[in-house]
Chains A and B, each alone.
Chain A
Amino acid sequence: MTPDDLPLLSARALTKHYGPRLGCADVTFDLYEGEVLAVVGESGSGKSTLLSLLATELDPTAGSVGYRMRDGVTRNLFTLSEAERRFLLRTDWGFVRQDARDGLRMGVSAGGNVGERLMAVGARHYGKIRDTASDWLGRVEIDPSRIDDMPKSFSGGMRQRLQIARNLVTHPRLVFMDEPTSGLDVSVQARLLDLIRGLVSELGLAVIIVTHDLAVARLLSHRIMVMRQGRVIETGLTDQVLDDPREAYTQLLVSSVLAA
Protein backbone atom coordinates (compact mmCIF):
# COMPACT_ATOMS: atom_id res chain seq x y z
CA MET A 1 0.00 0.00 0.00
CA THR A 2 1.23 3.46 -0.84
CA PRO A 3 0.75 6.27 1.71
CA ASP A 4 -2.06 7.60 -0.51
CA ASP A 5 -4.08 4.52 0.30
CA LEU A 6 -3.88 5.19 4.02
CA PRO A 7 -6.18 7.69 5.65
CA LEU A 8 -4.69 10.87 7.05
CA LEU A 9 -7.22 10.84 9.85
CA SER A 10 -9.49 8.06 11.13
CA ALA A 11 -12.22 8.70 13.66
CA ARG A 12 -13.61 5.61 15.35
CA ALA A 13 -16.80 5.55 17.43
CA LEU A 14 -16.08 9.05 18.64
CA THR A 15 -18.47 9.97 21.44
CA LYS A 16 -18.80 12.93 23.76
CA HIS A 17 -21.22 13.38 26.65
CA TYR A 18 -21.51 16.62 28.56
CA GLY A 19 -22.80 15.12 31.77
CA PRO A 20 -26.16 13.66 30.81
CA ARG A 21 -26.32 15.64 27.59
CA LEU A 22 -25.07 14.14 24.34
CA GLY A 23 -22.54 16.09 22.29
CA CYS A 24 -21.98 13.52 19.59
CA ALA A 25 -22.17 9.76 19.43
CA ASP A 26 -20.45 6.98 17.58
CA VAL A 27 -18.91 9.03 14.78
CA THR A 28 -16.71 6.95 12.49
CA PHE A 29 -15.07 8.10 9.26
CA ASP A 30 -11.79 8.25 7.35
CA LEU A 31 -10.31 11.33 5.74
CA TYR A 32 -7.64 11.09 3.05
CA GLU A 33 -5.09 13.65 1.97
CA GLY A 34 -6.51 16.29 -0.33
CA GLU A 35 -10.09 15.47 0.64
CA VAL A 36 -12.58 18.10 1.71
CA LEU A 37 -15.26 16.81 4.09
CA ALA A 38 -18.22 19.00 5.00
CA VAL A 39 -20.07 18.35 8.25
CA VAL A 40 -23.54 19.84 7.97
CA GLY A 41 -26.45 20.09 10.36
CA GLU A 42 -28.37 22.61 12.37
CA SER A 43 -27.35 24.21 15.66
CA GLY A 44 -27.07 21.57 18.35
CA SER A 45 -26.49 18.74 15.89
CA GLY A 46 -23.09 18.04 17.39
CA LYS A 47 -21.01 19.22 14.46
CA SER A 48 -19.00 21.74 16.48
CA THR A 49 -18.44 19.21 19.26
CA LEU A 50 -17.12 16.80 16.67
CA LEU A 51 -14.72 19.42 15.29
CA SER A 52 -13.44 20.22 18.79
CA LEU A 53 -12.86 16.52 19.45
CA LEU A 54 -10.95 16.06 16.20
CA ALA A 55 -8.80 19.09 16.94
CA THR A 56 -8.16 17.63 20.43
CA GLU A 57 -9.68 20.66 22.11
CA LEU A 58 -12.05 18.32 23.91
CA ASP A 59 -11.41 14.86 25.31
CA PRO A 60 -13.86 12.23 24.10
CA THR A 61 -16.00 10.14 26.40
CA ALA A 62 -15.22 7.20 24.15
CA GLY A 63 -13.61 6.44 20.81
CA SER A 64 -10.35 7.33 19.14
CA VAL A 65 -8.86 9.45 16.38
CA GLY A 66 -5.87 8.13 14.48
CA TYR A 67 -3.67 10.63 12.66
CA ARG A 68 -0.88 9.78 10.26
CA MET A 69 2.05 11.94 11.34
CA ARG A 70 4.57 13.32 8.86
CA ASP A 71 6.88 10.41 9.61
CA GLY A 72 4.16 8.06 8.31
CA VAL A 73 3.29 6.59 11.70
CA THR A 74 -0.39 6.71 12.67
CA ARG A 75 -0.90 7.76 16.27
CA ASN A 76 -3.96 8.02 18.48
CA LEU A 77 -4.37 11.75 19.05
CA PHE A 78 -5.62 11.27 22.58
CA THR A 79 -2.47 9.50 23.69
CA LEU A 80 -0.14 12.22 22.42
CA SER A 81 1.61 14.37 24.96
CA GLU A 82 0.45 17.95 25.37
CA ALA A 83 3.64 19.19 23.67
CA GLU A 84 3.09 16.88 20.69
CA ARG A 85 -0.48 18.07 20.29
CA ARG A 86 0.55 21.71 20.47
CA PHE A 87 3.20 21.08 17.85
CA LEU A 88 0.60 19.51 15.52
CA LEU A 89 -1.75 22.43 15.98
CA ARG A 90 0.96 24.96 15.21
CA THR A 91 2.47 23.19 12.23
CA ASP A 92 0.60 20.36 10.55
CA TRP A 93 -2.88 21.69 11.24
CA GLY A 94 -4.77 24.89 10.75
CA PHE A 95 -7.98 25.99 12.43
CA VAL A 96 -10.04 28.72 10.81
CA ARG A 97 -12.60 29.98 13.34
CA GLN A 98 -16.00 31.41 12.69
CA ASP A 99 -15.10 34.53 14.62
CA ALA A 100 -11.74 35.86 13.46
CA ARG A 101 -11.19 37.34 16.91
CA ASP A 102 -10.83 33.77 18.21
CA GLY A 103 -8.36 32.80 15.52
CA LEU A 104 -6.22 35.92 15.34
CA ARG A 105 -4.15 37.83 17.87
CA MET A 106 -6.03 41.09 17.69
CA GLY A 107 -3.27 43.08 19.39
CA VAL A 108 -0.61 41.96 16.92
CA SER A 109 -0.10 43.35 13.40
CA ALA A 110 -1.26 41.46 10.30
CA GLY A 111 2.35 40.54 9.49
CA GLY A 112 2.90 39.46 13.09
CA ASN A 113 -0.15 37.20 12.97
CA VAL A 114 1.27 35.37 9.98
CA GLY A 115 4.89 35.49 11.13
CA GLU A 116 4.09 34.11 14.55
CA ARG A 117 3.16 30.73 13.09
CA LEU A 118 6.40 30.67 11.13
CA MET A 119 8.41 31.38 14.25
CA ALA A 120 6.60 28.52 15.95
CA VAL A 121 8.14 26.17 13.40
CA GLY A 122 11.58 27.60 13.93
CA ALA A 123 11.92 30.51 11.48
CA ARG A 124 14.23 33.11 12.99
CA HIS A 125 15.33 35.41 10.17
CA TYR A 126 13.24 38.57 10.49
CA GLY A 127 13.59 39.63 6.87
CA LYS A 128 12.57 36.23 5.54
CA ILE A 129 9.63 35.98 7.92
CA ARG A 130 8.44 39.41 6.81
CA ASP A 131 8.84 38.51 3.14
CA THR A 132 6.88 35.29 3.58
CA ALA A 133 4.17 37.11 5.54
CA SER A 134 3.94 39.76 2.86
CA ASP A 135 3.71 37.10 0.16
CA TRP A 136 0.88 35.36 2.01
CA LEU A 137 -1.03 38.59 2.53
CA GLY A 138 -0.92 38.96 -1.25
CA ARG A 139 -2.14 35.42 -1.77
CA VAL A 140 -5.20 36.07 0.36
CA GLU A 141 -5.76 39.37 -1.46
CA ILE A 142 -4.74 41.71 1.33
CA ASP A 143 -2.62 44.63 0.14
CA PRO A 144 0.86 43.87 1.55
CA SER A 145 1.22 47.56 2.41
CA ARG A 146 -1.13 46.81 5.31
CA ILE A 147 1.37 44.40 6.87
CA ASP A 148 1.89 46.62 9.92
CA ASP A 149 -1.79 47.35 10.47
CA MET A 150 -3.75 45.77 13.29
CA PRO A 151 -6.54 43.30 12.42
CA LYS A 152 -8.86 45.60 14.39
CA SER A 153 -8.76 48.00 11.46
CA PHE A 154 -9.71 45.25 8.99
CA SER A 155 -13.18 44.45 7.69
CA GLY A 156 -14.79 41.09 8.55
CA GLY A 157 -13.86 39.58 5.19
CA MET A 158 -10.24 40.76 5.47
CA ARG A 159 -9.94 39.32 8.96
CA GLN A 160 -11.11 35.95 7.68
CA ARG A 161 -8.60 36.09 4.85
CA LEU A 162 -5.87 37.02 7.33
CA GLN A 163 -6.86 34.01 9.45
CA ILE A 164 -6.47 31.83 6.39
CA ALA A 165 -3.00 33.22 5.66
CA ARG A 166 -1.97 32.69 9.29
CA ASN A 167 -3.13 29.09 9.12
CA LEU A 168 -1.70 28.15 5.75
CA VAL A 169 1.73 29.75 6.05
CA THR A 170 3.19 26.65 7.71
CA HIS A 171 1.87 24.39 4.91
CA PRO A 172 -0.42 22.31 7.09
CA ARG A 173 -1.81 19.04 5.75
CA LEU A 174 -5.13 19.33 7.55
CA VAL A 175 -7.26 22.40 8.15
CA PHE A 176 -10.34 22.58 10.35
CA MET A 177 -12.86 25.24 9.44
CA ASP A 178 -15.78 26.21 11.65
CA GLU A 179 -18.41 28.18 9.70
CA PRO A 180 -15.70 30.30 8.08
CA THR A 181 -18.08 32.35 5.95
CA SER A 182 -21.09 32.87 8.19
CA GLY A 183 -21.66 36.37 9.45
CA LEU A 184 -20.17 37.89 6.31
CA ASP A 185 -22.01 39.82 3.59
CA VAL A 186 -22.98 37.63 0.66
CA SER A 187 -20.56 39.28 -1.78
CA VAL A 188 -17.74 38.96 0.77
CA GLN A 189 -18.69 35.32 1.32
CA ALA A 190 -18.46 34.54 -2.38
CA ARG A 191 -14.97 36.01 -2.60
CA LEU A 192 -13.80 34.14 0.48
CA LEU A 193 -15.25 30.85 -0.73
CA ASP A 194 -13.59 31.25 -4.07
CA LEU A 195 -10.28 32.00 -2.39
CA ILE A 196 -10.59 28.96 -0.10
CA ARG A 197 -11.57 26.75 -3.04
CA GLY A 198 -8.52 27.84 -5.02
CA LEU A 199 -6.04 27.45 -2.15
CA VAL A 200 -7.40 24.07 -1.08
CA SER A 201 -7.01 22.56 -4.53
CA GLU A 202 -3.67 24.28 -5.21
CA LEU A 203 -2.16 23.10 -1.93
CA GLY A 204 -3.91 19.70 -1.88
CA LEU A 205 -5.18 20.32 1.64
CA ALA A 206 -7.37 17.97 3.60
CA VAL A 207 -10.17 20.01 5.13
CA ILE A 208 -12.93 19.29 7.60
CA ILE A 209 -15.40 22.14 7.34
CA VAL A 210 -18.38 22.57 9.61
CA THR A 211 -21.19 24.55 8.06
CA HIS A 212 -24.94 24.88 8.18
CA ASP A 213 -24.86 26.34 4.66
CA LEU A 214 -25.44 23.65 2.04
CA ALA A 215 -24.26 25.96 -0.75
CA VAL A 216 -20.89 26.27 1.00
CA ALA A 217 -20.73 22.49 1.32
CA ARG A 218 -21.54 22.05 -2.36
CA LEU A 219 -18.95 24.52 -3.54
CA LEU A 220 -16.07 23.35 -1.35
CA SER A 221 -16.47 19.73 -0.37
CA HIS A 222 -16.03 16.33 -1.97
CA ARG A 223 -17.91 14.45 0.70
CA ILE A 224 -20.56 15.36 3.20
CA MET A 225 -21.69 14.08 6.61
CA VAL A 226 -25.13 15.11 7.81
CA MET A 227 -25.49 15.25 11.58
CA ARG A 228 -28.59 15.38 13.69
CA GLN A 229 -28.92 15.12 17.46
CA GLY A 230 -25.30 14.16 17.81
CA ARG A 231 -25.32 11.38 15.25
CA VAL A 232 -24.23 11.06 11.65
CA ILE A 233 -27.43 10.20 9.80
CA GLU A 234 -26.25 10.30 6.20
CA THR A 235 -22.95 10.41 4.41
CA GLY A 236 -21.68 10.24 0.83
CA LEU A 237 -20.48 12.21 -2.17
CA THR A 238 -21.53 15.82 -1.73
CA ASP A 239 -23.53 16.09 -4.93
CA GLN A 240 -25.14 12.71 -4.30
CA VAL A 241 -26.32 13.60 -0.81
CA LEU A 242 -27.58 17.01 -1.93
CA ASP A 243 -29.22 15.87 -5.19
CA ASP A 244 -30.52 12.49 -3.99
CA PRO A 245 -30.89 12.75 -0.21
CA ARG A 246 -32.03 9.53 1.39
CA GLU A 247 -32.94 10.42 4.97
CA ALA A 248 -36.06 12.35 5.86
CA TYR A 249 -34.06 14.96 7.74
CA THR A 250 -31.63 15.49 4.86
CA GLN A 251 -34.54 15.83 2.46
CA LEU A 252 -35.97 18.47 4.78
CA LEU A 253 -32.64 20.34 4.92
CA VAL A 254 -32.20 20.28 1.15
CA SER A 255 -35.78 21.29 0.43
CA SER A 256 -35.58 24.15 2.92
CA VAL A 257 -32.94 26.01 0.95
CA LEU A 258 -34.32 28.93 -0.98
CA ALA A 259 -33.22 28.86 -4.58
CA ALA A 260 -31.90 32.25 -5.66
Chain B
Amino acid sequence: MTQHSVILEGVSKSFTLHLRDGLRIGVVDNVSFAVSPGECVVLGGPSGAGKSSILKMIYGNYRCEAGRILVRDGEDLVDVATAEPRRVLALRASVMGYVSQFLRVIPRVSTLDIVAGAAQSDGVGECEAWSRAERLLTLLNVPERLWSLPPATFSGGEQQRVNIARGLAAERPVLLLDEPTASLDAANRAVVVRLIEEKKAAGAAVIGIFHDEDVRDRVADRIVDVTRFATEKAA
Protein backbone atom coordinates (compact mmCIF):
# COMPACT_ATOMS: atom_id res chain seq x y z
CA MET B 1 0.00 0.00 0.00
CA THR B 2 1.30 3.43 -0.89
CA GLN B 3 1.67 6.19 1.60
CA HIS B 4 -1.13 8.69 1.40
CA SER B 5 -0.37 12.26 0.37
CA VAL B 6 -3.39 13.78 2.07
CA ILE B 7 -5.44 12.34 4.93
CA LEU B 8 -8.53 13.97 6.43
CA GLU B 9 -9.75 12.55 9.74
CA GLY B 10 -12.95 13.74 11.40
CA VAL B 11 -12.73 17.22 9.94
CA SER B 12 -15.52 19.65 10.83
CA LYS B 13 -16.30 23.18 9.80
CA SER B 14 -18.88 25.73 10.74
CA PHE B 15 -19.07 29.50 10.57
CA THR B 16 -20.20 31.66 13.47
CA LEU B 17 -21.54 34.97 12.19
CA HIS B 18 -21.08 37.43 15.05
CA LEU B 19 -22.69 40.20 13.06
CA ARG B 20 -25.84 38.06 12.81
CA ASP B 21 -26.21 37.54 16.55
CA GLY B 22 -23.77 34.68 16.59
CA LEU B 23 -25.68 32.63 14.04
CA ARG B 24 -23.86 29.35 13.60
CA ILE B 25 -23.86 27.77 10.17
CA GLY B 26 -22.70 24.19 9.97
CA VAL B 27 -20.83 23.29 6.80
CA VAL B 28 -19.44 19.78 7.12
CA ASP B 29 -18.98 17.29 9.91
CA ASN B 30 -16.62 14.41 10.39
CA VAL B 31 -15.05 14.50 6.93
CA SER B 32 -12.70 11.57 6.47
CA PHE B 33 -10.94 10.41 3.32
CA ALA B 34 -7.41 9.92 2.05
CA VAL B 35 -5.69 10.45 -1.29
CA SER B 36 -2.69 8.59 -2.66
CA PRO B 37 -0.01 9.86 -5.03
CA GLY B 38 -1.19 9.71 -8.62
CA GLU B 39 -4.82 9.52 -7.58
CA CYS B 40 -7.56 12.02 -8.36
CA VAL B 41 -10.41 12.32 -5.88
CA VAL B 42 -13.33 14.43 -7.00
CA LEU B 43 -15.58 15.99 -4.38
CA GLY B 44 -19.19 15.54 -5.40
CA GLY B 45 -22.46 17.01 -4.23
CA PRO B 46 -24.66 20.00 -4.92
CA SER B 47 -23.65 23.61 -4.61
CA GLY B 48 -23.44 24.60 -0.94
CA ALA B 49 -22.56 21.11 0.24
CA GLY B 50 -19.16 22.32 1.46
CA LYS B 51 -16.87 21.11 -1.32
CA SER B 52 -14.94 24.37 -1.63
CA SER B 53 -14.76 24.71 2.14
CA ILE B 54 -13.02 21.33 2.33
CA LEU B 55 -10.46 22.36 -0.28
CA LYS B 56 -9.89 25.67 1.49
CA MET B 57 -9.34 23.91 4.82
CA ILE B 58 -6.75 21.62 3.25
CA TYR B 59 -4.96 24.68 1.85
CA GLY B 60 -5.17 26.41 5.24
CA ASN B 61 -7.28 29.19 3.81
CA TYR B 62 -10.19 28.28 6.11
CA ARG B 63 -9.74 27.23 9.68
CA CYS B 64 -10.49 23.68 10.67
CA GLU B 65 -12.33 23.37 13.98
CA ALA B 66 -12.08 19.69 14.64
CA GLY B 67 -10.17 16.75 13.25
CA ARG B 68 -6.86 16.48 11.47
CA ILE B 69 -5.73 17.40 7.96
CA LEU B 70 -2.46 15.62 7.30
CA VAL B 71 -0.40 16.62 4.28
CA ARG B 72 2.74 14.73 3.39
CA ASP B 73 5.91 16.79 3.02
CA GLY B 74 8.62 14.25 2.28
CA GLU B 75 8.91 12.11 5.39
CA ASP B 76 6.76 14.46 7.48
CA LEU B 77 3.02 14.49 7.86
CA VAL B 78 1.97 18.04 8.69
CA ASP B 79 -1.38 18.69 10.36
CA VAL B 80 -2.60 21.82 8.60
CA ALA B 81 -5.35 22.22 11.21
CA THR B 82 -2.84 22.96 13.95
CA ALA B 83 0.39 23.89 12.13
CA GLU B 84 2.08 27.23 12.63
CA PRO B 85 1.36 29.75 9.85
CA ARG B 86 4.94 29.53 8.60
CA ARG B 87 4.69 25.75 8.31
CA VAL B 88 1.53 26.11 6.21
CA LEU B 89 3.27 28.72 4.06
CA ALA B 90 6.16 26.31 3.55
CA LEU B 91 3.68 23.63 2.43
CA ARG B 92 2.17 26.06 -0.03
CA ALA B 93 5.60 26.97 -1.33
CA SER B 94 6.65 23.44 -2.13
CA VAL B 95 3.89 20.86 -1.61
CA MET B 96 0.38 22.19 -2.22
CA GLY B 97 -0.89 23.95 -5.31
CA TYR B 98 -4.33 25.54 -5.42
CA VAL B 99 -6.15 26.54 -8.58
CA SER B 100 -9.48 28.31 -8.51
CA GLN B 101 -11.35 29.84 -11.38
CA PHE B 102 -10.47 33.34 -10.23
CA LEU B 103 -7.25 35.18 -10.79
CA ARG B 104 -6.21 37.68 -8.15
CA VAL B 105 -4.64 40.23 -10.41
CA ILE B 106 -1.38 41.80 -9.36
CA PRO B 107 -0.89 45.17 -11.02
CA ARG B 108 2.03 45.61 -13.42
CA VAL B 109 3.27 42.01 -13.56
CA SER B 110 3.18 40.51 -17.05
CA THR B 111 1.34 37.30 -17.84
CA LEU B 112 4.54 35.46 -18.71
CA ASP B 113 6.21 36.63 -15.49
CA ILE B 114 3.22 35.50 -13.42
CA VAL B 115 3.38 31.98 -14.82
CA ALA B 116 7.19 31.75 -14.97
CA GLY B 117 7.39 33.15 -11.44
CA ALA B 118 5.16 30.32 -10.23
CA ALA B 119 7.36 27.78 -12.00
CA GLN B 120 10.47 29.27 -10.42
CA SER B 121 9.11 28.60 -6.95
CA ASP B 122 10.29 25.04 -7.66
CA GLY B 123 13.82 26.32 -7.71
CA VAL B 124 14.21 25.69 -11.43
CA GLY B 125 16.30 28.09 -13.49
CA GLU B 126 14.89 31.00 -15.43
CA CYS B 127 15.15 29.17 -18.76
CA GLU B 128 13.22 26.14 -17.57
CA ALA B 129 10.63 28.40 -15.90
CA TRP B 130 10.11 30.40 -19.08
CA SER B 131 9.81 27.35 -21.27
CA ARG B 132 7.27 25.80 -18.91
CA ALA B 133 5.30 29.06 -18.90
CA GLU B 134 5.38 29.33 -22.68
CA ARG B 135 4.27 25.73 -23.08
CA LEU B 136 1.32 26.13 -20.70
CA LEU B 137 0.17 29.44 -22.14
CA THR B 138 0.39 28.01 -25.65
CA LEU B 139 -1.51 24.85 -24.70
CA LEU B 140 -4.18 26.92 -22.97
CA ASN B 141 -4.58 29.11 -26.06
CA VAL B 142 -3.55 32.37 -24.46
CA PRO B 143 -2.49 34.44 -27.50
CA GLU B 144 1.21 35.20 -27.54
CA ARG B 145 0.59 38.90 -28.12
CA LEU B 146 -0.88 39.04 -24.59
CA TRP B 147 2.06 37.43 -22.79
CA SER B 148 3.92 40.66 -22.12
CA LEU B 149 0.83 42.35 -20.66
CA PRO B 150 -0.53 42.18 -17.12
CA PRO B 151 -3.79 40.20 -17.22
CA ALA B 152 -5.84 42.95 -15.55
CA THR B 153 -7.48 43.93 -18.84
CA PHE B 154 -7.98 40.39 -20.19
CA SER B 155 -11.37 38.78 -20.63
CA GLY B 156 -12.65 36.56 -17.84
CA GLY B 157 -11.85 33.41 -19.82
CA GLU B 158 -8.31 34.57 -20.59
CA GLN B 159 -7.66 35.43 -16.95
CA GLN B 160 -8.96 32.04 -15.92
CA ARG B 161 -6.58 30.28 -18.30
CA VAL B 162 -3.64 32.38 -17.09
CA ASN B 163 -4.61 31.34 -13.58
CA ILE B 164 -4.63 27.66 -14.55
CA ALA B 165 -1.23 28.03 -16.20
CA ARG B 166 0.09 29.66 -13.04
CA GLY B 167 -1.42 27.02 -10.80
CA LEU B 168 0.03 24.15 -12.82
CA ALA B 169 3.44 25.68 -13.63
CA ALA B 170 5.10 24.34 -10.50
CA GLU B 171 5.47 20.65 -9.72
CA ARG B 172 3.39 20.04 -6.62
CA PRO B 173 2.79 16.64 -5.00
CA VAL B 174 -0.67 17.84 -3.92
CA LEU B 175 -3.00 19.73 -6.24
CA LEU B 176 -6.27 21.29 -5.12
CA LEU B 177 -8.53 22.25 -8.02
CA ASP B 178 -11.64 24.33 -7.34
CA GLU B 179 -13.64 24.23 -10.57
CA PRO B 180 -10.77 25.24 -12.81
CA THR B 181 -12.79 24.30 -15.89
CA ALA B 182 -15.94 26.26 -15.05
CA SER B 183 -17.06 28.26 -18.09
CA LEU B 184 -14.16 27.11 -20.29
CA ASP B 185 -14.99 26.02 -23.84
CA ALA B 186 -14.69 22.36 -24.86
CA ALA B 187 -11.25 22.74 -26.44
CA ASN B 188 -9.75 24.36 -23.35
CA ARG B 189 -11.51 21.92 -21.04
CA ALA B 190 -9.81 19.13 -22.95
CA VAL B 191 -6.44 20.84 -22.45
CA VAL B 192 -7.03 21.07 -18.70
CA VAL B 193 -8.00 17.38 -18.60
CA ARG B 194 -4.77 16.51 -20.38
CA LEU B 195 -2.73 18.63 -17.96
CA ILE B 196 -4.39 17.00 -14.96
CA GLU B 197 -3.63 13.57 -16.42
CA GLU B 198 0.02 14.63 -16.79
CA LYS B 199 0.13 15.69 -13.15
CA LYS B 200 -1.38 12.39 -12.02
CA ALA B 201 1.12 10.46 -14.12
CA ALA B 202 3.88 12.46 -12.44
CA GLY B 203 2.59 11.27 -9.06
CA ALA B 204 0.54 14.21 -7.86
CA ALA B 205 -2.38 13.60 -5.53
CA VAL B 206 -5.26 15.62 -6.97
CA ILE B 207 -8.39 16.72 -5.10
CA GLY B 208 -10.83 18.53 -7.33
CA ILE B 209 -14.26 19.98 -7.79
CA PHE B 210 -15.67 19.72 -11.31
CA HIS B 211 -19.26 20.43 -12.17
CA ASP B 212 -18.69 19.37 -15.73
CA GLU B 213 -19.57 15.66 -15.82
CA ASP B 214 -17.45 14.99 -18.87
CA VAL B 215 -14.31 16.35 -17.16
CA ARG B 216 -15.18 14.62 -13.91
CA ASP B 217 -15.58 11.23 -15.54
CA ARG B 218 -12.28 11.55 -17.33
CA VAL B 219 -10.07 12.61 -14.42
CA ALA B 220 -11.71 11.06 -11.36
CA ASP B 221 -10.42 7.82 -9.88
CA ARG B 222 -12.93 8.13 -7.09
CA ILE B 223 -15.79 10.43 -6.16
CA VAL B 224 -16.30 11.40 -2.55
CA ASP B 225 -19.88 12.49 -2.02
CA VAL B 226 -19.72 15.45 0.34
CA THR B 227 -23.41 15.29 1.26
CA ARG B 228 -22.64 12.37 3.55
CA PHE B 229 -20.68 14.82 5.73
CA ALA B 230 -23.60 17.24 5.93
CA THR B 231 -24.31 18.86 9.29
CA GLU B 232 -27.52 20.23 10.67
CA LYS B 233 -27.90 23.64 9.07
CA ALA B 234 -28.27 26.74 11.22
CA ALA B 235 -29.56 25.82 14.62
Cα(A199)–Cα(B88), bound, Å: 23
Task: Kindly list chain A residues whose C-beta atoms are within 8 Å of the C-beta of B19.
Answer: 248, 251-252, 255
Instruction: Determine whether the beta carbon of A194 is less than 8 Å from that of B56.
Output: no
Chain A, range 203-260, C-beta contacts under 8 Å to B = 219, 222-223, 236-237, 239-240, 243-244, 246-248, 251-252, 255
Q: A32-B86, A222-B89 are in contact. Are A247 and B18 (CB under 8 A)?
A: yes
Chain B, range 92-122, C-beta contacts under 8 Å to A = 106-109
Q: A190-B107, A251-B17, A255-B19 are in contact. Are A243 and B62 (CB under 8 A)?
A: yes
Instruction: Determine whether the beta carbon of A194 is less than 8 Å from that of B108.
Output: yes
Instruction: Determine whether the beta carbon of A251 is less than 8 Å from that of B61.
Output: no
Instruction: Determine whether the beta carbon of B18 is less than 8 Å from that of A240.
Output: no
Q: Does A128 contact B (CB under 8 A)?
A: no
Instruction: Determine whether the beta carbon of A240 is less than 8 Å from that of B108.
Output: no
Task: Kindly list chain A residues whose C-beta atoms are within 8 Å of the C-beta of B4.
Answer: none
Q: Does B63 contact A (CB under 8 A)?
A: yes
Task: Kindly list chain A residues whose C-beta atoms are within 8 Å of the C-beta of B15.
Answer: 244
Cα(A243)–Cα(B107), bound, Å: 21
Q: Does B60 contact A (CB under 8 A)?
A: yes
Secondary structure dominating the interface of B:
mixed
Residue of B88, B107, B108 touching A237 (CB-CB under 8 A): B88
Q: Does A191 contact B (CB under 8 A)?
A: yes
Instruction: Determine whether the beta carbon of B85 is less than 8 Å from that of A246.
Output: no
Cα(A219)–Cα(B86), bound, Å: 17
Instruction: Determine whether the beta carbon of B108 is less than 8 Å from that of A191.
Output: yes
Instruction: Determine whether the beta carbon of A244 is less than 8 Å from that of B17.
Output: no
> Could you tell me the distance in whole angstroms from the C-beta of B110 to the nearest C-beta in chain A?
12
Cα(A252)–Cα(B19), bound, Å: 7
Q: A35-B86, A237-B88 are in contact. Are A251 and B18 (CB under 8 A)?
A: yes
A246 nearest in chain B by CB position: B63
Instruction: Determine whether the beta carbon of B63 is less than 8 Å from that of A194.
Output: no
- Interface footprint category on B: 10 to 19
- Interface footprint category on A: 20 to 34
Chain B, range 106-148, C-beta contacts under 8 Å to A = 106-109
Mask, B11-26, CB within 8 Å of A = 1, is 0000111110000000
Residue of A240, A251, A252 touching B63 (CB-CB under 8 A): A240
> Could you tell me the distance in whole angstroms from the C-beta of B75 to the nearest C-beta in chain A?
17
Q: A194-B107, A247-B18, A248-B19 are in contact. Are A240 and B86 (CB under 8 A)?
A: no
Given contacts A190-B107, A243-B62, 7 further A-B pairs with CB under 8 A are A35-B86, A190-B108, A191-B108, A222-B89, A237-B61, A244-B63, A248-B19
Interface positions of A (Cβ within 8 A of B)? 32, 35, 190-191, 193-194, 197, 219, 222-223, 236-237, 239-240, 243-244, 246-248, 251-252, 255
Interface positions of B (Cβ within 8 A of A)? 15-19, 56, 60-63, 85-86, 88-89, 106-109
* The 10 nearest A-B residue pairs measured at CB: A248-B18, A244-B62, A237-B85, A190-B107, A194-B108, A223-B85, A251-B18, A244-B63, A239-B61, A194-B107
27 A-B residue contacts at CB 8 Å? A35-B86, A190-B108, A193-B107, A194-B107, A194-B109, A219-B106, A222-B89, A223-B85, A237-B61, A237-B85, A237-B88, A237-B89, A240-B61, A240-B62, A240-B63, A240-B85, A243-B56, A244-B15, A244-B56, A244-B63, A246-B16, A247-B18, A248-B19, A251-B17, A251-B19, A252-B19, A255-B19
